[in-house]
Amino acid sequence: MPGRTIDRYELIEQLRAEPDRASFKARDTHTGQVVVLHLLRQAGQLASPRDLQAFAGLMHPNLLAIRNAGTFDEEGRLTPFVVTPLLDGVALEDIIRQARAPLTTEWIGDFALQACAGLEALHEHNLVRGHLTPGSLLITDHGLVTIIDFGLLARSPGVPVSPYTAPELVIDGRISAASDIYSFGVILYEALTLTTPFARPQPEAVGPPWNRRSREPPPPTSP
């Protein structure tokens, strides 16, 4: 799709492609700024218009801004899109994957303070990030922690189960600030130990990790 124009955004190159979404570097033809345009191709993936307006109105250094949102005609059906700034940085997921030893407590402390500030700003406005993972926490080249993709995630009954999924999301679909706190606790554990709580090597293990027969978490690998 590079070269195509959606709304006022000219697509430059594709940055990310998944079954439910695609992200493109794009140029705003009104301002000349380079941004990221996300196409959301799964029903129920977009937050409610009211939530999107609330997200777009939030200005916080640790939250990714939503600059615009709308829909466009893609082969006869309306596909939602969301526009966000283009940031240079690396996701915590990649930092953990490449680490050969647990991250230092000093680094984690600074990271945690910034991420918590972003979550607090959301929760103070009665908003919830939901489905927080290391992949949704970006550390920019200047050391700024930014919570990304909020407002773009599913609010539909299908809940993606991962080691970061709060139990109440799987049990009855309830989502609250407590869900974000649970997920962030798992993320901190992984940053400190390079493994997630309740991690099991057995390939046959299925279902939520906290719901498996053995519930003892692995011992930390750092003092």
CATH of the domain at 207: 1.10.510.10
Q: What is the mean pLDDT of the chain?
A: 80
DSSP letter assigned to residue 10:
E
Percent of the chain with pLDDT over 90: 39
Residue 58 has pLDDT above 50, yes or no: yes
One domain, residues 126 and 179: yes
The Cα–Cα gap between 196 and 92 comes to 14
53: containing domain: 5-85
Tokens of 38: 């996300």
One domain, residues 176 and 106: yes
Average pLDDT over residues 8-35: 90
One domain, residues 53 and 130: no
| Total domain count, the chain | 2
Residue 206 · residue 163 · CB < 8 Å: no
221 domain residue, yes or no: no
pTM of the model: 0.76
Return the ∠ at Cα 17 (arms to 15 and 23), rounded to 5°.
Answer: 45
Per-residue pLDDT at 207: 53
216 domain residue, yes or no: no
Q: Which residues pair with 70 in a beta bridge?
A: 81
Average pLDDT over residues 33-51: 70
CATH code of the domain covering residue 14 = 3.30.200.20
One domain, residues 137 and 198: yes
Kindly indicate the confidence band of residue 205, based on its pLDDT and cuts at 50, 70 and 90: very low
Cα-based torsion angle of the residue sequence 84, 90, 91, 95 in order, rounded to the nearest 10 degrees: 180
One domain, residues 81 and 184: no
Q: Which residues pair with 71 in a beta bridge?
A: 80
Return the ∠ at Cα 26 (arms to 20 and 28), rounded to 5°.
Answer: 125
Among residues 85, 104, 126, the one where a domain terminates is: 85
For the segment 129-172, what is each residue's pLDDT rounded down to a tens digit? 777 889 889 999 889 999 986 554 444 445 567 888 888 877 87
Residue 37 has pLDDT above 80, yes or no: yes
Residue 12 · residue 28 · CB < 8 Å: no
One domain, residues 69 and 97: no
223 domain residue, yes or no: no
What's the sign of the alpha-carbon dihedral 75, 76, 79, 81? positive
Q: Kindly report the number of other CB atoms within 10 A of residue 197's CB atom.
A: 17
For the segment 66-117, what is each residue's pLDDT rounded down to a tens digit? 888 888 887 887 888 889 999 889 999 999 999 988 899 999 999 999 999 9
* Ramachandran region, residue 131 (left: φ > 0; alpha: ψ -120 to 50; beta: rest): left
73 domain residue, yes or no: yes
One domain, residues 127 and 176: yes
One domain, residues 94 and 177: yes
